[in-house]
Amino acid sequence: MTTDSARARPTKPTVVLWDWLRQNLFNTWYNAIISVVIAFLLYQLLSNLLGWLLTTQGWIAVLTNIRLLFVGRYPPDQVWRVEVVVALIALLTGLSGGVWKGIVRNLATGFGLILFVLSLIAFTFPNDGFNPMIAAPIFLLGSSALLALGIWGGSRIAERLRIPLIISWVLLYPIGILIIRGGVGLPVVETNLWGGLLLTLILSSSGIILSFPLGVLLALGRRSDLPIVKGFCIAYIELIRGIPLVTVLFMAQLMLPLFLPDQVRIDSVVRAMVAVTLFSAAYLAENVRGGLQSLPRGQAEAARALGLNSVQTTLLITLPQALRAIIPVLVGQFISLFKDTSLVVIVGLIDLLGIARTIYSQAEWKDFTGGVWRETLFVVAVIYWIFSFTMSRTSKKIEEKMSVGYR
């Protein structure tokens, strides 16, 4: 049956270039005009852009500040700790890619390739002066090797690795923060020294991870029958969603120190983290609520009929299904959080965007005609773009796969 239908599928028509052009670019007179105009504009734009990319000398500003871009003012002799965390993430990603295959494997392969290409780029630069991260090329190559090893090893012992892997992903955030901040045996690196891409990633992942429990509770509260709990949750969610993130960040900077007792002192990175968490929780709550609403009533009713009480029903039946259904939405929220953390520049933190501003206003680039802001902003934009684009593609893939599963 299946082979028959596969055989009966018509052969793909061969498309001649001229036919394709006529059908897709010149099928009506106005489409022909539009095509020609766009082609002209596009040529102008791309040739200018390419010319600038290849001829400008401003890249040196980015290259000399590459460490600043990635880790900010993190002490150079402690940067290996960040590298350890990245290597750990590479290993875990590789193992997960090996175990779960499919989308996860594609992601892992992509990540590994990026690390590999970066290491090649890093090798081509002279090690003195230009590249302050001395171990960078070796570290990058090592991480990509570790990742490849992970994929290979993961696929071999997939069955036994599943549970330990999930546990290590859960533990990754606290352990990563512990290694980066130090404390137990390691010298402490205060949070005000964190910066660059490191700070951006920490802020956005903290935002999504820490806001998770709060967001789920708020969502459950908003759906509960208890009027006081429900009212409180609605008030919180709508209040936060009605005001801009900048306001929340500002309030956290100014009012958190006031709210806390005198002996507790928290610095501005932690304040920003609190703000991002409180902000993100309201949006997460709405997403979780959407997931809960999308479940058929029968699920909860069946659970109650089987004798589960309401707590058991929520924890074992409805919540897991709701969370599974909203994975793509959560990735979307993570993307917008990742972009929105750039607003911490306004309250004086130096994340990836803040570093860009620092770099192009350095005194040594004054003599460059036109400054180096184009090059710096370009590199930072590319970094933001790669992260967001990869994540949005992944969430789209997950969504497609899940909708196939439901059908």
**Phi and psi, residue 262, nearest 5°:** -60, -35
Tokens representing 93? 């990603």
Q: In whole angstroms, what is the distance from residue 286 CA to residue 215 CA?
A: 8
Site string for other proteins, 280-319 (x = CB under 8 A): ----------------------------------------
171 binds other proteins (CB under 8 A): no
339 binds other proteins (CB under 8 A): yes
**Phi and psi, residue 351, nearest 5°:** -90, -160
Measured from the CB atom, the residue of 157 and 260 that comes closer to other proteins is 260
Q: In whole angstroms, what is the distance from residue 325 CA to residue 328 CA?
A: 8
| One of 4, 128, 262, 367 touching other proteins (CB under 8 A) | 262
| CA within 13 Å, CB half, 257 | 9
- The DSSP call for residue 378 is H
353 binds other proteins (CB under 8 A): yes
Count, residues near other proteins per rule CB under 8 A: 53
Site string for other proteins, 217-246 (x = CB under 8 A): --------xxxxx--x------x-xxxxxx
Q: How far apart are the first and last CA of the chain?
A: 21
384 binds other proteins (CB under 8 A): yes
Shortest separation between residue 150's beta carbon and other proteins, angstroms = 27
* Among the listed residues 291, 158, 166, 162, the one whose alpha carbon sits nearest the alpha carbon of residue 216: 291
Shortest separation between residue 200's beta carbon and other proteins, angstroms = 9
Interactions with other proteins, residue window 10-49 (CB under 8 A): 24-25, 27, 31, 34-35, 38-39, 42
Alpha helices in 182-226 (DSSP H): 196-223
53 binds other proteins (CB under 8 A): no
* Cβ atoms of 200 and 73 closer than 8 Å: no
| Residues, the chain | 407
Tokens representing 384? 């933001």
Residue ranges that bind other proteins, judged by CB under 8 A: 24-25, 27, 31, 34-35, 38-39, 42, 225-229, 232, 239, 241-247, 250-251, 254-255, 257-262, 335, 339-340, 342-343, 345-346, 353, 356-357, 370, 373, 377, 380-381, 384-385, 388-389, 392
